[in-house]
Structure 1
Amino acid sequence: MSSTDDRRFEVLRAIVADYVSTQEPIGSKALVDRHNLGVSSATVRNDMAFLEAEGYITQPHTSSGRVPTDKGYRQFVDRIAEVKPLSPAERRAILEFLDSGLDLDDVLRRGVRLLAQLTRQVAVVQYPTLSASSVRHLEVVALTPARLLLVLITDTGRVDQRMVELGDVIDDDDLSKLRALLGGAMEGKKLSEASAAVATLAENAPEHLHDVVIRTATVLVESLVEHPEERLVLGGTANLTRNAADFAGVAGFPGSLRSVLEALEEQVVVLKLIAAAQHPGTVTVRIGEETQVEQMRGASVVSTGYGAQGMVLGNMGVLGPTRMDYPGTIANVAAVARYIGEVLAGR
């Protein structure tokens, strides 16, 4: 890239930084006063004219200043050389806060709350997808001789408890056989594989346990399918109202704050927005129309996958106006995702 292109990018970078900070259109005089660009005011004006002609900045209304466009933000994000690093104290505080979570639900709720506070945006975390989970352990507890409690624990920390009415009594010896049958069929397997194994378990079960195995397997299969109502944790929605002016349009039309809030109520839309690359640590930034959601034209989404040992368990990210602190937001999303993965891997 030529020195002229580098200089023009520095002008764009300065416009983005100042606009994110002040929320005011940026003029050439302000750029020269605030930034050591090493060129004259006339050169800065010429560079701004070029950036505007190329669609990187625009003039809102009759203001003399300029603001970045979606194309300008994209150019800025694509050329971020260094993402703002977190200090050792910040990293330690995040990990300790998440690690003190009692269970999977608590860890994800803490993660959302923390991410919303760090970025001052809307934070979203997807529950670990069951297709990526394996059965770590199945506990079978006899509450009465004719009623069992099944406790299914996945390697992602999910705990599901189900009751089974046997219709007949079962003694300790048969309970041990049932526990061995179920554990052997499920433990260590992906949930889809475990579901298939349990569904056919009755075919090879001892005849006197045939009915018990069928009743138990029926309940377990229900535990091994996705629970759409539990797929997402959302936090910090009120943060959007702090920057209501950033969302273009009028209430009821695409791009307005109202339409963004309505879109957030649609789980399928949110899942699509935070869909990330299938490798932990890869951060995706979608700006304005790149979200491919009409109601989100004035919003940006920064998302990534969280997981362990190279496997993505779920996606997470933040949503806010395009006027966003991209370096800081990218760093915070990546850090919280990494630590959620570490916490879940250690459980």
Structure 2
Amino acid sequence: MPDERRLEVLRAIVEDYVSTEEPVGSKALVERHRLGVSPATVRNDMAVLEEEGFITQPHTSAGRVPTDKGYRLFVDRLTTVKPMTVAERRAIATLLDGAIDLDDVVHRSVRLLSQLTRQVAVVQYPTLSRSTVRHVELVALMPTRLLTVLILSTGRVEQRLVEMAEPLTDDALVDLRGQVNRAATGQTIADAVTALRALASELPDTAVVAETLAEAMSDHRSDERIVVGGAANLARYGDSFDSAVRPLLEALEEHVVLLKLLGEATTGDTVTVRIGHEGPYQELASTSVVATGYGPGDEALATLGIVGPTRMDYPGTMAAVRAVARYVSRILDEA
């Protein structure tokens, strides 16, 4: 583990390389940063950092660039996550406060994350299996046709049409609506499914409604739904990221790959950073992923984050990911 002075040198190299895209030399470090030591000492520190694998020299007589190991140490030793500016916080509030439903929240979050970080943003829809039932509405479209509307704790809405064998009177519809809500409201998906199927066995005439709702809750295909935005941001890296652009663009089309990249949802206060070779796919070893969980209260129902080159502004990116996750969680909590 480098001593504190060498950590300062490493931090300066990371910051300069991220901002300039050029290998960093000792002279530039002394000129740009108040390290309090001579250029000779900085050169010695850089030699030790290189020997220990934290930086590398891409070309003879060139400056140094951070390695994955160097970025890892830089991220691990961040004492605080860079605070969001007033303008950035205002932008988050302005964009997300206008969302009208869960789909709108997810799509606005993707757009916002990609704008704030200038990276590729990925937002997973809240998983159905971790939700609870907030309300069930039954709407008569015709005497023998009902629209069932399932509203979950995430703000997610599932709708199904039901064809009844016999027409339902208004009083029968009110009674059925009450029984379904008593059985399912406030329950986890698994418990609600059990309760609704028990209700179906008790009320044969309306079993089709209870069974339809149970099937809607059991349908986990949408658990793998994600939204991606900001792919055009990859163009700004040019040749320096060219070898990773094609596999990353291919990955953006494979939702299962992106979900594995994001990893398991954690709490909104825990930002996970996976750098280069730490990720699950070697063909994406030139990329890093910054992600966190989001959901109402302390519950993480899904994950959001960004994917980009290892040469990124980690403090700023981590702050943006955490801030957007907290804001989305608050919206879901209030929905």
TM-score by length of 2: 0.95
Secondary structure of the residue aligned to 2:273 is: strand
Match of 2:206 among 190, 203, 212: 212
Answer yes or no: is the 8 Å Cα contact 2:27–2:39 preserved in 1. yes
Answer yes or no: is the 8 Å Cα contact 1:8–1:51 preserved in 2. yes
Aligned to 2:4: 6
After the TM superposition, list the runs of 4 or more consecutive aligned residues in structure 1 that deviate by more than 6 angstroms: none
**1:217 offset after TM fit, Å?**
2.4
Aligned to 1:33: 31
Distance in 1, Cα, partners of 2:88 & 2:270: 21
Secondary structure of the residue aligned to 2:137 is: strand
Answer yes or no: is the 8 Å Cα contact 1:246–1:323 preserved in 2. no
Answer yes or no: is the 8 Å Cα contact 1:115–1:333 preserved in 2. yes
Percent identity among equivalent residues?
Answer: 58
Match of 1:91 among 84, 89, 93: 89
Distance in 2, Cα, partners of 1:263 & 1:93: 29
Query: In the TM superposition, what whole-angstrom CA distance separates every residue of 1:165-190 from its partner, at most 9, and x where no partner exists?
Result: 11221112221221122111111111
Distance in 2, Cα, partners of 1:63 & 1:227: 54
Secondary structure of the residue aligned to 1:195 is: helix
Aligned to 1:234: 228
Distance in 2, Cα, partners of 1:216 & 1:41: 77
1:152-191 aligned within 5 A: 152-191=150-189
Query: In the TM superposition, what whole-angstrom CA distance separates every residue of 1:60-85 from its partner, at most 9, and x where no partner exists?
Result: 13352110000000010011112211
1:42-61 aligned within 5 A: 42-61=40-59
Distance in 1, Cα, partners of 2:242 & 2:90: 38
1:1-347 aligned within 5 A: 5-205=3-203, 210-213=204-207, 215-224=208-217, 225-228=219-222, 231-247=225-241, 249=243, 256-276=244-264, 278-347=266-335
Distance in 2, Cα, partners of 1:155 & 1:272: 25
Secondary structure of the residue aligned to 2:306 is: strand
**1:287 offset after TM fit, Å?**
0.1
Most deviating of 45-54 and 175-184: 175-184
Distance in 2, Cα, partners of 1:96 & 1:330: 20
Distance in 2, Cα, partners of 1:197 & 1:163: 20
**1:89 offset after TM fit, Å?**
4.2
- CA shift in 2, pair 1:184/1:135, >3 Å: same
Distance in 2, Cα, partners of 1:108 & 1:120: 18
Answer yes or no: is the 8 Å Cα contact 1:276–1:283 preserved in 2. no
Distance in 2, Cα, partners of 1:327 & 1:124: 18
Answer yes or no: is the 8 Å Cα contact 1:55–1:69 preserved in 2. yes
Most deviating of 257-266 and 311-320: 257-266
Distance in 2, Cα, partners of 1:247 & 1:222: 45
Answer yes or no: is the 8 Å Cα contact 2:144–2:166 preserved in 1. yes
Q: Aligned AA for 1:290?
A: E
Runs of 5+ consecutive residues of structure 1 not aligned to the other structure? 250-255
Most deviating of 225-234 and 33-42: 225-234
Runs of 5+ consecutive residues of structure 2 not aligned to the other structure? none
Aligned to 1:253: none
Cα-Cα RMSD? 1.6
Most deviating of 118-127 and 260-269: 260-269
Matched residues, number: 334
